[in-house]
Structures are given as C-alpha cells and as structure tokens.
Chains A and B, each alone.
Chain A
Amino acid sequence: MAEAVQVPLRETEPNWDEYLKAYYSKPSSTKTWSGYEVKEFYTPQDLAGKDYEEHIGDPGSFPFTRGIHRNMFRGRYWTRREVIGMGSPADTHERVRLLLEHGSSGLNTIADITYEMGLDPDHPWAQNEVGLTGVNIAHIRDMEVLTKGVPLDKVSWSLITASPVAAVTMAQYVAVAEKRGYDISQLRGSIQNDPIHFRYCGFKPACPIDLSIRLGCDVMEFCTRRMPKWYYTTVNMYDLREQGLTAPQEVAFGFGIAMIYIDELIRRGLKIDEFAPRFTFYVSCHIDIFEEVAKIRAARRLWARLMKEKYGAKDPRSMQFRFAVHTAGCSLVPQQPLNNLVRIAYEALAAVLAGVQSLHCCSYDEPICLPTEKGHLQALRTQQILAYETGVCNVADPLGGSYYVESLTDKLEEEILKILEEVESLGGMEQAIRSEWFDRKLEQEAVERQKEIERGERLVVGVNIFTSEPEKQTPLGVQRIAPESAKAQIKETMELKASRDKAKLREAIERLRRDTVEGRNLLPAMIEATKAYATTGEIMGTVREAMGYPYDPMEILENPFK
C-alpha cells in the first residue's frame, strides 16, 4: 500500500471577498447578444393573437418556421462537413481522406487567398502565400489531384470558392468530371459562388460589382440548366456576421445580396421555380443559443414569404430556406484556447436545434493557426457526439412552441424587416454597396462590438473576465504549411505553362474573350479553356480585361495573349 502523502496546508488565506462576490454574482446584462432586452419569463400571452398554422406551421409546411422537413433528422442527419484547405492539392486531398476515414459525411474544400484573388502561384504577389489558408487550383491537373479516386457522381462535394473565380472552380470541376466520363447532370454538391459579399472579406480588387453579378449568375444559370442536382450558390451571410454584424443584420444584408442574384436570374429569363429550389445560404451560429435559433427560424419564415409574395413562387421547395452553418470563428479567442471547444459545442447545438442542413464546426485552434489534424478531428467528433449521443435529433424543432423562443423569433423577424426596409429606402442592396454605405456600416459595427467588450458590457472568458497568464504553448500543437508545397506548385505551374499546345490554348482563350464581350454565359468557354490547360489566372484575366478591368487584379502582370 502506498503511503499517505501529507499535503501541507497553505499559509495564505483565500480572498474571501472574491469568493463572496463570485457566490452572489448574477448576470450584469439581460440583453441578447444583439442587444435586445428580454423579460424575466414568457407566457402564452406573448403569443396571443398569432395563428399557429399561418404564423408558425408544422415542420415541413409553409411558412417553414419549424424547418423544411417534416421528419427532420429522422430522415437523415445533417451533413457533417469540415472545411479543409491547406498547402498543395495533394496535402488537401490527404486531409479530406483522413476526415472521411473518421466518419465525415461531406467533402468540403476551401480555396486559398491567391486563388480567390485569381492569381496563379507564380504571380509575384502569390509566391509567399500559396496554400497558406486553403488550396490553390492553378489548372486542371490540380483539380485532378484534389479529386483523385473520388466517385464524383456519388459524393456531395462542397467547393468553397466565393469570389468570381468560383466560375473557374466550377469549370475545373466539370472539366475533370467530363474527362472521367461522368454525366454532369448527375453531379451532386455545392459551390459557394457569392462574389458580391466577398468584396467585404478583403477581396475587393477581385470582386468588382458588375463582374461579381455576371460570373456569379453565369454559374447559377449554367447549373440550373445543366446540373440540376447542384447547389449553385451559398449566399454567405456568415462572413458578413464575422465582420461584426448583429444577428438580424446578418440575415437582412444576406437576403439583400441574395435578391441581387435572384433579380438578375429573372432578368435573364429564368422562372423562379426553375432555380430557387437550389438556392442556399451559409449562416453563422454565434454564442447566444436562443437568439441564434430564433434568428434562423425567423429567416426561414421570412424567406418563405419573400419567395411566395415578392417573387410569386408556387413550388414549396422554392420557399424553403436551406442553409449550412459555420460556427462563429469570431467568437473564439486564443486566450485559454481549450475554452473554444465548449463555445463550438454550444454553437453547434444551436445550429442543430435550428434544423441545420450541413454543419462545419470550427476547430478550437482557429484563432491561433490553421486547423491541426487533432483540432480538425475534434471538431468532427463534436458533431458526432451531438448526432449520436445527445438525442437532440429525435424531434423536429424541439424549441418550437416555447413562449420565449417563439417571441424572440417574432422579435428577430421584426428587426430583420426593419433593416430590409432601411436598405430599400437607400435604393436597394446593390445601391447600398455601390455607394459604399455598406462599407461604412460594417466598420461602424465592428468598432462598436469591440467597444462593448472594452466597456465590459459583453463578457468573454479569458478576455475581459476570468483572465489568466497567456499560455506559451498551443495545447495540441500548431499547424504549419510546408514551404516545399508552395515551391512545388509554383514550379509545376510554370512547367505546365511552358509545355501546353499553344495554338489550342490561344483558340480557347480567344473564344472566352469573344463570349465575354458578346455577353454569353461563360461557363462553356471556361470549361473548354480549362481542358486546353489555361490557368486560373489566365481565364480570369481574359474575362476581366474583356469586361474593361485590369487583366491582373494586382495590376502588375500584362495579358500574355496579346
């Protein structure tokens, strides 16, 4: 038997005043995250006068407040997708395979900064940054490596390219699928393709508004006609929220941007019920669980009414607000990093309680580095625990009928509508963007969110409450991108450029230029150019120049085809 160890009593007294303060502490604010005061409790009175069928409805029925499926997760769990993108296409492929081996149910790859900007790896601005934040797909061979061995007609692949370069991503994916003999009408998956919002994520030179609308809608139109199973846009209100917006602002401005695309598709002659069933959104789930659930329920009701009343949709599928959730990266902090695991779990819970279609959980190390293997796996495990252990999936819209959640849903809906009206009074979202009103709004909100933290009105453990000495080591290590991957990609791109059939390439580039000038849908010419080994930078540059923008968004390279 081990000897009992004598623990010496501490000499110092605890700080009893601090203890008493902790014992008697209570919330310093009873506002929601977005700043709405809430009551002590809610009663049937708060829902008085609201007709259940008309205002709420069963899950799977108009106005879809309670979800788009009657049986929700009993039919199928949400898709557990973790965003993956790092280093070379081969590095990214490897991480995709790892997560698949561990039960990931959807593939989800994200482009790096250089690719989103439309720069080839050998561009002077790209050389230091290739692969740092995602994967660069310089040409068709990169897409072949990324998708190697994947049955493209069976899996659902989510391609995260948001900028106008999404059109090239789509072309590269289709080109590879066609080369492998797939019928592209059978391809399933989604592409982010929301170039308008992406100007607010640091990509303004790559996202002039006219180019954004044109290429964004070219992808939407092409997929509607040729790839009916493909979700051709994921309007990214998540990214807007990450800039510091409140919950209702996120939805209102997201809807504003969505309507720019819808109006253009209708102008092109598509019928709302032809394309709307494949319209999807990317939504944030921040840390205020009930407000996030209420936000999503309100968004569903509003979207259904908007599609029915404003756009005259008849097909119920057109009225269903389909969305993926990204837990809020900006809610995570590097201070006391393991706390992030808990934040992510709460946010994921909110997404599931709100009836999410597809979920990405952040890795706990997101405010420190790219996800490590362990961080990535933990994010996937967080989803699996929710799905397989907690029982929250048994019943559709479990919070429906809660006096509080229904009231908060009404409140959020009212606030979203107010902002939509404000945008309308400015001449619509496109005008609010062109006049830079929205730029100013975002900056103002970002500063305000930080001040709320600095004034102690918004509490973040480890930042302005329960702080501790910074940790010197990241608990599960740090993800590094091997510089060799970038160097190899630069070299391969340069070699490919030197070895192509020049005549065939020129012909394809010329067709692309002509189609741009003559206003045709650019996807067919982009697919042909991709097959002729045109690079991403060359395809984008050709389209840009033909539309009157500089060939190179960084304004360094000249058009090599002149």
Chain B
Amino acid sequence: MTGPGERSRKIKVIISKVGLDGHDRGAKVVAHLLREAGMEVVYLGMYQMPEAIVQAALEEDADVIGVSYLSGEHLVYTPILVEEMRKKGLHDVLLIAGGVIPPEDIPTLKEMGVDEVFVAGTLSQKIVEYIERHARRLGADNASSQSLRETGGRCQ
C-alpha cells in the first residue's frame, strides 16, 4: 500500500554499460531484479560514455548509478566517470559497479570512488540490501562516497 507521496520516494537507479562492452546479460538481469525489489530503474543499455551516464543521472535525479564492466575496461572508465560525477556535483549519488572484476582491483576501484563492487555470481538480495542501506533517499550512511567524490577521489 503506497500512496503517491511514498511512491515518489522510491529509490531511483541508473543501470548502464560503459564504452563498447556488449556483455549486457548481467546488467539487464540486475535492472529487472532491482525493479522487482521496488526500485525505479532507468536502464541506459549499451554504448554509454561516462558523460552520458552522469547526464542521465542528473536529469533523472537518480540516487544510484550502477555500471557493468565485463571486458576489463573498469580501470579505464571509472576515473573518468568519478571525475564527471564530481564535476556535475553528484556527491551524494551512490556509485556501484558489477561484472567481471578481479578481486585485486576492488580496493583500487574503491579508492577511485566506487562505493561497492558486486562481482558475477552475486545474489540480487545482497545488492538490494546494500542499496537500501546506503542510498541517499533513505537518509543512509554514505559518508565514504561523499567525502571521496568531493575531493575528486584519492587517485586525483
């Protein structure tokens, strides 16, 4: 039972691929399952550059950006994406990444400004719980991402 007031408080998530990587099975499935968990999901699909993703997040007033990387492009595009988010003032937007990502790179991505990484094989419940706990709309604790993106990430 949700009234109109509550409906506008749904968590809004942008899900996108980055660059040319076309492995979109995971991104589409995650978009679908987050929607079923009650979130509003804007699926941008393939061939998105960081600028376009951030622009969409801005226009949609999104709480979360989720990017999917399966072709080893995560270390290339993440700094560009984080910088773009900083420039556009998306300090309190949660940034999560998923896909084929070596565990060795997870600390690096977090240092760059990614809030959490969900590798292949993650159950959707874990992603839902994480977003519900950390997305800004529920007044969550997202201090880590805020501080990082305000300073432009530690890798700057």
Q: Interface of A with B (CB < 8 Å)?
A: 113-114, 117, 119, 125-126, 128-129, 132-133, 201-205, 242-244, 330, 333-335, 367-370, 443, 446-447, 450-451, 453-454, 460, 462-464, 470-474, 478, 481, 554
Kindly state whether residue B44 has any CB partner on chain A within 8 Å.
no
Count of CB-CB pairs between chains A and B under 8 Å: 101
Tell me whether A463 and B100 are in contact in the complex, defined as CB-CB below 8 angstroms, given that A113-B22, A126-B20, A132-B71 are known contacts.
no
Cβ contact within 8 Å between A478 and B21: no
Beta-carbon contact of A453 and B123 below 8 Å: yes
B24 nearest CB across to chain A (Å): 6
| Among B46, B105, B120, residue most surrounded by chain A Cβ atoms (within 10 Å) | B120
B20 touches A446 (CB 8 A): no
In the complex, are the beta carbons of B103 and A334 less than 8 A apart?
yes
Task: Please encode chain B, from 73 to 117, with 1 for each CB lying within 8 Å of some chain A CB and 0 for all others.
Answer: 100110000000000000000000000111111000000000000
**Chain B interface, >50% SS class:** loop
Secondary structure of the A contact surface, majority rule: loop
Cβ–Cβ contact A129 & B20, under 8 A? yes
- B23, A129: Cβ atoms closer than 8 Å: no
Q: Are B103 and A367 in contact (CB under 8 A)?
A: no
Asked if B42 is at the interface of the complex by the 8 Å CB criterion, the answer is: no
Query: Which residue in A203, A369, A443, A451 is a CB contact (below 8 Å) of B22?
Result: A203
Binding site for A on B (CB under 8 A): 17, 19-25, 28-29, 32-33, 46-47, 71-73, 76-77, 100-105, 119-121, 123-125
Q: Do the beta carbons of A133 and B71 come within 8 Å of each other?
A: yes
How far in angstroms is the closest Cβ of chain B from A134? 10
Are B25 and A367 in contact (CB-based, < 8 A)?
Answer: no
Q: List 15 A-B contacts (CB under 8 A).
A: A113-B20, A113-B22, A114-B20, A125-B20, A125-B47, A129-B71, A202-B20, A202-B22, A333-B121, A368-B101, A369-B72, A462-B121, A463-B121, A470-B119, A472-B103
Q: A128-B77, A450-B124, A473-B103 are in contact. Are A242 and B72 (CB under 8 A)?
A: no
Chain B residues positioned under 8 Å from A243 (CB to CB): 25
Name the residue on A nearest B30 (C-beta).
A450
Q: Are B125 and A454 in contact (CB under 8 A)?
A: yes
Q: A128-B77, A132-B72, A473-B103 are in contact. Are A454 and B20 (CB under 8 A)?
A: no
Cross-chain contact of B19 among A129, A370, A460 (Cβ < 8 A): A129
A26 to B77, alpha carbons, bound, how many Å? 46
In the complex, A205 Cα to B104 Cα: how many Å?
34
Instruction: Name which residue of chain A comes closest to B103, CB basis.
Output: A472
| Shortest 4 CB-CB contacts between residues of A and residues of B | A202-B22, A333-B121, A478-B102, A113-B20
Closest to B119 in A: A334
- Report the Cα distance A204→B24, complex, angstroms: 12
CB nearest to B22 among chain A residues: A202
Which B residue's beta carbon lies closest to that of A244?
B25
Cross-chain contact B22 with A201 (CB below 8 angstroms): yes
Residue of A nearest to B80 (CB): A128
Q: Are A473 and B104 in contact (CB under 8 A)?
A: yes
Smallest beta-carbon distance B113→chain A, Å? 18
> What CA separation (Å) do A201 and B20 show in the bound complex?
11
CB neighbours of B125 from chain A (8 A): 454
The residues of A that contact B76 with a CB separation of less than 8 Å are 128-129
Rounded to whole angstroms, the CA-CA distance of A230 and B28 in the bound complex is 38
CB atoms of B120 and A334 under 8 A apart: yes
A205–B47 Cα gap in the complex (Å)? 10
Chain B residue nearest in CB terms to A134:
B71
Tell me the nearest residue of chain B to A336, going by C-beta.
B121
Is there contact, CB below 8 Å, between B24 and A129?
no
Q: Contacts A117-B20, A202-B22 hold; do A554 and B47 have CB atoms under 8 A apart?
A: yes
